[in-house]
């Protein structure tokens, strides 16, 4: 089990967070599977990079941009996939699961590259986003054409490449399994992608409207985050290992509860988080007009003057630090922050309850417990 500590960030008082310096080892203390995921991703990227470089040295900047960004991250999706398989296999390692977990991470990387374009984000994990990086280098070199258009075009291409490379890894993962298992894994993979795309579309649609649609907010939570981040990775691993219907149903329940809590925490960090820890400015979500549950609850409880501030600030690309501070004050004064924190706690308890009763070996149970806690009580 991982260690917990008390947050010192004054904007998020009295909330336990995990000591992330030791949490990975607690999850992976007797295996090298998460380390193997990094190795598979690196080797897979290098093979494709070699092909690109053979075409011409002009491809080097694109290759380098992916290479410097593909490593790292929380790897929570990969970990859920790995332990979803071990849970179905009674703690044993499952052939192909490392490739499958790597495919999920590569798909996620591609989705982030595209998501940053859609959100017009400047940074990701402490680095310039791909589209911003190429726009800046285009501008610095005084090349012809519009720099921002060029940056967007390259980011779309980079994301597309990584999406196709993730499919290659899925094919490798199911190469040696039987037909039924192969078809079941592919069907789950396809469903995961479609749901993630649909959730992203609904999220973008919400940013075009003046008021928050509570039902749509719930669906974005479910499909863009909950099932995609936790439920489907668990199911993918379990399906590859031949999990029965009862265990897959438990995985779905864990995914929905822990996944929604994961996204709700992300929404809080998107407004109250420490930029040095999250790697992303805490003003971006407000500027982009993210209509999260946090915002929905604030609008619901706000007085007329507070609603006016929300309307002026949410989705305002020119929002400054003072405007963001006013929004944070309203999110606290209306009780929205407290209510979301309470909902996170309820969802975490539900997920941990399912983990406690799931038909898995004790080591897998402990690992899944630790993973759920990492999702819920995190600072990045």
Domain segments of the chain: what residues? 8-376
Cα–Cα dist 28/144, whole Å: 50
Angle formed by the axes of helices 130-140 and 147-173, nearest 10°: 140
Cα–Cα dist 169/285, whole Å: 32
> Residue 358: left (phi > 0), alpha (psi -120 to 50), or beta?
beta
Q: What is the mean pLDDT of the chain?
A: 88
Indicate the pLDDT class of residue 371, thresholds 50, 70 and 90. very high
**Mean pLDDT throughout 359-363?**
95
Phi, psi of 172 (to 5 degrees): -65, -35
Q: pLDDT for 116-136, tens place per residue?
A: 999 888 888 889 999 999 999
Please list the residues that pair with 17 across neighbouring strands: 5
CA dihedral 60, 62, 64, 67 (to 10 degrees): -140
pLDDT at residue 332 tops 60: yes
* CA dist 366 → 81, 208, 254, 363 (Å): 15, 43, 14, 5
Please list the residues that pair with 6 across neighbouring strands: 16
pLDDT at residue 21 tops 80: no
Other C-beta atoms lying within 10 Å of the C-beta of residue 19: 11
CATH superfamily of 8-376: Farnesyl Diphosphate Synthase (1.10.600.10)
Specify burial of residue 279 (Cβ count, 10 A radius: 0-12, 13-18, 19+).
middle
CA atoms within 13 A on the CB side of 142: 0
Tokens of 285: 């979500």
Share of the chain above pLDDT 90, in %: 72
pLDDT the model gives residue 33 = 87
Q: In this structure, are residues 37 and 105 in contact, taking their beta carbons and an 8 Å threshold? A: yes
pLDDT at residue 30 tops 60: no
Contacting residues for 310 by C-beta, under 8 A, at least 6 apart: 295, 298, 299, 302, 327, 330
Residues found in the chain: 380
Reduce the DSSP state of residue 210 to 3 states and report it: coil
| Cα Rg of the chain, angstroms | 21
pLDDT at residue 280 tops 90: no
Indicate the pLDDT class of residue 9, thresholds 50, 70 and 90. very low
Tokens of 120: 């017009």
pLDDT the model gives residue 16 = 41
pLDDT the model gives residue 17 = 39
pLDDT the model gives residue 13 = 34
pLDDT at residue 65 tops 90: yes
Angle formed by the axes of helices 245-272 and 232-240, nearest 10°: 150
Q: What pTM was computed for the model?
A: 0.87
């Amino acid at each position: 089990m991982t260690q917990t500590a008390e947050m010192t960030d004054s904007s998020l008082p009295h909330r336990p967070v995990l000591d992330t310096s030791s949490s990975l080892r607690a999850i992976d203390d007797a295996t090298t599977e998460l380390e193997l995921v990094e190795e598979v991703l690196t080797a897979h990227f290098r093979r494709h990079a070699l092909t690109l470089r053979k075409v011409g040295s002009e491809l080097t900047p694109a290759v380098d941009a992916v290479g410097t960004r593909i490593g790292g991250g929380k790897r929570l999706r990969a970990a859920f996939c790995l332990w979803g398989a071990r849970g179905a296999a009674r703690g044993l390692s499952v052939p192909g699961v490392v490739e499958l977990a790597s495919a999920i991470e590569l798909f996620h990387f591609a989705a982030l590259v595209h998501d940053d374009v859609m959100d017009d984000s400047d940074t990701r994990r402490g680095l310039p986003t791909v589209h911003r990086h190429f726009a800046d280098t285009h501008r610095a070199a005084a090349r012809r054409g519009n720099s921002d258009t060029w940056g967007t075009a390259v980011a779309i291409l980079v994301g597309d490449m990584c999406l196709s490379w993730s499919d290659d890894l899925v094919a490798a993962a199911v190469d040696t399994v039987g037909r039924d298992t192969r078809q079941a894994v592919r069907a789950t993979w396809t469903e995961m992608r479609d749901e993630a795309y649909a959730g992203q579309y609904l999220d973008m649609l919400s940013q075009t409207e003046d008021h928050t649609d509570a039902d749509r907010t719930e669906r974005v939570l479910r499909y863009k985050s909950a099932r995609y981040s936790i439920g489907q990775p668990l199911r993918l691993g379990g399906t590859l290992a031949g999990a029965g219907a009862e265990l897959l149903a438990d995985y779905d329940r864990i995914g929905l509860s822990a996944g929604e809590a994961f996204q709700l925490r992300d929404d809080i960090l998107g407004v109250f988080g420490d930029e040095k820890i999250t790697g992303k400015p805490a003003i971006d979500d407000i500027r982009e007009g993210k209509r999260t549950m946090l915002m929905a609850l604030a609008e619901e409880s706000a007085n007329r003057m507070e609603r006016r501030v929300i309307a002026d600030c949410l989705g305002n690309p020119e929002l400054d630090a003072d405007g963001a501070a006013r929004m944070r004050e309203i999110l606290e004064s209306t009780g929205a922050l407290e209510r979301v924190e309470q909902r996170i706690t309820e969802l975490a308890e539900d997920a941990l309850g399912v983990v406690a009763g799931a038909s898995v070996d004790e080591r897998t149970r402990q690992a899944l417990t630790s993973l759920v806690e990492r999702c819920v009580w995190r600072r990045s």
